[in-house]
Amino acid sequence: MSPSGAEIIRQIREGVDEIDPADARDQLGNGAVLVDVRESEEFESGHIPGAQHVPRGYLESRIENAVPDRSQHVVLYCASGQRSALAAHTLSDLLGYEHVESLKGGITLWKDRGYEVAVPQTLSKEQRERYSRHLLIPEVGLDGQQKLLGAKVLLLGAGGLGAPAALYLAAAGVGTLGIVDDDEVDLSNLQRQVIHNTERIGVPKVDSAEETIQALNPDVKVVKHKTRLEASNIMELLEPYDIVVDGADNFPTRYLLNDASVRLRMPVVSASILGFDGQLSVFKPYEGPCYRCLYPVPPPAELAPSCGANGVLGVLPGVMGLLQATEVIKLIVEQGEPLVGRLLLYEALGATFTELKVRRDPECPICSRDPEEISDDEMGVFPDYEAFCEASG
């Protein structure tokens, strides 16, 4: 009578070397290769960090890719130690691997001992559908979408630039959007600030923006900062974020933001608008110029938008805000050529885009020095702003 399956497994296991999780851990530090022989769904729901994945059903055909050297020390594991023992038998007895062990108790015992398990983030069924058009482009894909969901972006202002940028960043699945704005929605905003609406006139812009974003994409966490950006709070406000979207409408804030972001080595995606003209650049500290390299002194006061109400074509901040959102996404998914060291000028009446090279200024008062050297007193230093605006008449 032929032996039962259970009997064969017992015999095979007797002939296979088993290794205790603690010893396996030491061996991994000594260069042993760890191979997970479970099915794909099991691997994806959590595996031992650094493990290669070769499902047992593909062992003979794929192990040479994972472990080309047959003298290499290999530790195999599965859920409980049974499949890995059978796989170890195949590797040593049939494929000629010289030093093969099976992890005793599998990943179950490994976890019980409190050792580390990597649980890859996966998208829910709903997220796969929501972001399906991102998953179809390799530059984003699953990896990029997970980066977006894990990203923290701070928007300065939920106004002309911030409104369209926030809408598209939320739609794209940027996981955390902070919004700094102490203003309320005004009727005159609605010609361009599309995140707000007529019913919300008089409502704080951060609340209005949050409501629109939540309705668009519940994956996004909105952090509301109903305050003005000042030297006293800027470091604290910026610190939890990865990237800043600058939609500030005044020069003192831009200088302050620049100095703080250089200190924190945090990239700023900056845009400005006036009339039919827009400007855009990415200030990535120490990789490209900073705002002060580009504008060592503020432009003439009569051109300073914050000195009074200036006209702007309603669509223009939409164009520029979406170019900002595009740069933010590129930075997060680490694809393409960010607009670092380049100033993009858009002129809507002539329908022209022009690009200017901007270089780091070796004499720049801020980014020519190490971040630790920039003191609190120097941050946002700017000529007297009241006087500056008065000079413009």
Q: State in angstroms the smallest separation of the CB of 284 from Zn ion.
A: 11
The one-letter amino acid at 152 = K
Q: For residues 236 and 287, which CB has a smaller minimum distance to Zn ion in the complex?
A: 287
Q: For residues 141 and 365, which CB has a smaller minimum distance to Zn ion in the complex?
A: 365
Q: For residues 37 and 262, which CB has a smaller minimum distance to Zn ion in the complex?
A: 262
Alpha-carbon Rg of the chain, whole angstroms? Answer: 29
How far apart, in Å, do the first and last CA atoms of the chain sit? 106
Q: State in angstroms the smallest separation of the CB of 91 from Zn ion.
A: 58
Residues at the site binding Zn ion, with contacts judged by CB under 5 A: 290, 292-293, 364, 367
Q: State in angstroms the smallest separation of the CB of 296 from Zn ion.
A: 8
Which residues on neighbouring strands pair with residue 352, listed in sequence order?
Answer: 347
Q: For residue 17, what are its two tokens? A: 């070397």
Q: For residues 260 and 367, which CB has a smaller minimum distance to Zn ion in the complex?
A: 367
Q: State in angstroms the smallest separation of the CB of 176 from Zn ion.
A: 28
d(CA 146, CA 149): 5
Q: For residues 91 and 290, which CB has a smaller minimum distance to Zn ion in the complex?
A: 290
Q: State in angstroms the smallest separation of the CB of 362 from Zn ion.
A: 9
d(CA 225, CA 207): 10
Q: For residue 315, what are its two tokens? A: 């669509």
Place of tokens 């008089």: 202
Q: For residues 257 and 290, which CB has a smaller minimum distance to Zn ion in the complex?
A: 290
Q: State in angstroms the smallest separation of the CB of 262 from Zn ion.
A: 7
Q: State in angstroms the smallest separation of the CB of 310 from Zn ion.
A: 27
d(CA 242, CA 228): 20
d(CA 49, CA 35): 11
Q: For residues 168 and 328, is the Cβ–Cβ distance under 8 A?
A: no
DSSP E strands in the chain: the ranges are: 18-19, 33-36, 52-53, 73-77, 99-103, 152-156, 176-180, 221-225, 243-246, 268-274, 277-283, 342-347, 352-357
Q: For residues 54 and 364, which CB has a smaller minimum distance to Zn ion in the complex?
A: 364
